[in-house]
Structure 1
Amino acid sequence: MTNPIRIALAGNPNTGKTTLFNALTGLRQHTGNWAGKTVSLAEGNVQFKGKTYHFIDLPGTYSLFSNSTDEEVARNYIVFERPDVTLVVLDATSLERNFNLALQILEMTRNVIVCINLIDEAEKKGIKINERLLTNRLGVPVIKLSARNKVGFDLLLDTIERIVNGAIECNPTQMTYSDEIEEQIKKIEPYIREMVGDRLSSRWVSLRLLDGDERLLDEIKNRLQLEEVKKTNEYRTAIL
């Protein structure tokens, strides 16, 4: 049996993220607490073209720094658990406010789909959104949805499948910062890359460390130590 394809859902509160999750998974879901945390995560499965897609509804957050437990849980899942695809759910009527989180996620991971939800509400307000232009600008698929009306679901699932099987290659746009910050990134990124390898985006980690995110550094150190212990135990088992 092949492992299910893991799809994380991220987004600001009140963007319809959980409505999308519920509409996709229906009764095929359950809720459990994140290991060692009081934050709960809902998980559920979707069958599509003979494959199982396992959706994880992350806590709604406005950013993915270390300002709260919700933010850390959402960030750590995307960064360390490395889902096959991350869906960023935005409110079509408040795109400017929502894009802060989307741009953060594009710095963290490659396989991203930007889901512009509540498109029906936007149309009522006369808001027009050019998803093709956004796709070209962001370097990842952008899909317009109405979760409560189940509009756009087939295109979403098809796009997920095409990313997973390699038919679509995501090339997320990267934010360019001031000359001073970019120079600091160049200085420390080689050391970060040596430490984390291809597990994490060395540029993103460099940015977070420049911002003084010590809790992320502690998390990385703990994860690396656990990996070393696991490798040592596997080696011992192999030679015994």
Structure 2
Amino acid sequence: MSEYYRIALVGNPNTGKSTLFNTLTGLRQHTGNWAGKTVELKEGTFEFKNKSYRMIDLPGSYSLYSNSLDEEVARDYVLFEKPDVTVVVLDATALERNLNLALQVLEISKNVVICLNLIDEAEKRGMKIYEQIFMRKLGVPVVKISARNKTGIPALLDTIDRLIDGVIACNPNTIKYDAETEANINYLETKLIAIFGDRLPTRWLAIRMLDGDQSLIKAIEDNYFGEEVH
């Protein structure tokens, strides 16, 4: 068992992700580059229920499709570093725009908590969000918070703690495509499983390869000692 449980924070810019990071880690944080990239990552630590956590505040990203260096760093960290829990911070006032990133994370990682931030602003606008419906639709825990006002923080930490302990389980729902696309995904996934086993999310890799994601293919080769994927 590692000294710390690692938590990755993922979210669009301006969702309050860094506010949550500062709320949880306080002065116990530092900044540095990761994996030879010029993009800086913030890391901090905190304690909860006799467990030590290291939280990584990944660059704000609109997707994990590597359209920018920030998105590439966020994608590679979740994919290759395999944090114990990935917390996806969404702006509760703009869920339609934010959910795209959440769905992409769910394709890569199983241990995910969806964090609906700015819930106070959403309620001021008369918005009612039923997190139980979100949980059923997504297959992972959903927690409403206001990082700025520290509302819902205990519930978020308790959810992370129970996820680490295996008290609750994540079962992300898989997006299904048309029959032809699914057949192509299944064919590629069979090949990828033979190469990577369970080290990488092979269904997601197959989808990205069908989309021609050359950046991802290069990242896989770099991280797996030149293994080529055909």
TM-score (norm 2): 0.96
Give 5+ residue unaligned stretches, structure 1: 228-240
Q: Secondary structure at the match of 1:176?
A: coil
Taking the aligned partners of 2:54 and 2:65, their CA distance within structure 1 comes to: 25
CA RMSD, Structure 1 to Structure 2 (Å): 1.3
Report the alpha carbon displacement of residue 119 of structure 1 after superposing the two structures with TM.
0.2
Matched, 1:27 2:27: yes
Shift in alpha-carbon separation, 1:2–1:208, aligned structure 2, 3 A: closer
Q: Report the Cα distance in structure 2 between the residues aligned to 1:9 and 1:181, rounded to whole angstroms.
A: 31
Q: Where does the alignment leave 5 or more consecutive residues of structure 2 unmatched? A: none
Residue 111 of structure 1 is matched in structure 2 by 111
For 1:99 and 1:188, locate their aligned partners in 2 and report how far apart those are by CA, in whole Å: 27
Q: Does structure 1 residue 213 correspond to structure 2 residue 213? A: yes
Question: Shift of residue 35 of structure 1?
Answer: 2.3
Q: Which letter does structure 1 place at the counterpart of 2:49?
A: K
Q: Distance in 2 between matches of 1:150 and 1:6?
A: 21
CA deviation after TM superposition for structure 1 residue 2, in Å? 4.3
Q: 1:182 to 1:226 in 2, by over 3 A?
A: closer
TM-score (norm 1): 0.92
Q: Deviations over 1:126-175 (max 9, x none)?
A: 00000011111110000000000011111111111111111111000111
Distance 2:144 2:57 in 1: 19
Partners of 1:35 and 1:99 in 2: CA distance: 28
1:66 aligns with 2:66: yes
Q: Percent of aligned positions with the same letter in both sequences? A: 60
Question: Which deviations, in whole Å up to 9, do the C-alpha atoms of 1:177-205 show, x marking residues without a partner?
Answer: 22221111011110011111111111000
Tell me the CA shift for residue 102 of structure 1. Answer: 0.3
1:20-56: CA deviation from partner (whole Å, max 9, x where unpaired) = 1011111010110122111000000110011111100
Counterpart CA distance in 2 for 1:38 and 1:218 is 18
Partner of 1:236: none
Equivalent-residue separation in structure 2 for 1:139 and 1:177 (angstroms): 18
Letter in 1 for 2:167: A
Deviates more, 1:114-123 or 1:195-204: 195-204
CA distance in 2, matches of 1:190, 1:139: 25
Shift of 1:105: 0.4
For 2:176, the equivalent position in structure 1 comes to 176
CA distance in 2, matches of 1:194, 1:218: 19
Q: Distance in 1 between matches of 2:35 and 2:56?
A: 14
Determine the structure 2 residue equivalent to 1:149.
149
Q: Which has the higher helix share?
A: 1
Q: For the residues of structure 2 that align with 1:199 and 1:153, how far apart are their CA atoms?
A: 32
Distance 2:62 2:116 in 1: 16
1:59-138 superposed matches below 5 A? 59-138=59-138
Greater Cα radius of gyration, structure 1 or 2: 1
User: Following the alignment from structure 1 to structure 2, what is the Cα–Cα distance between the partners of residues 35 and 192?
Assistant: 25
3-state DSSP of counterpart to 1:225 = coil
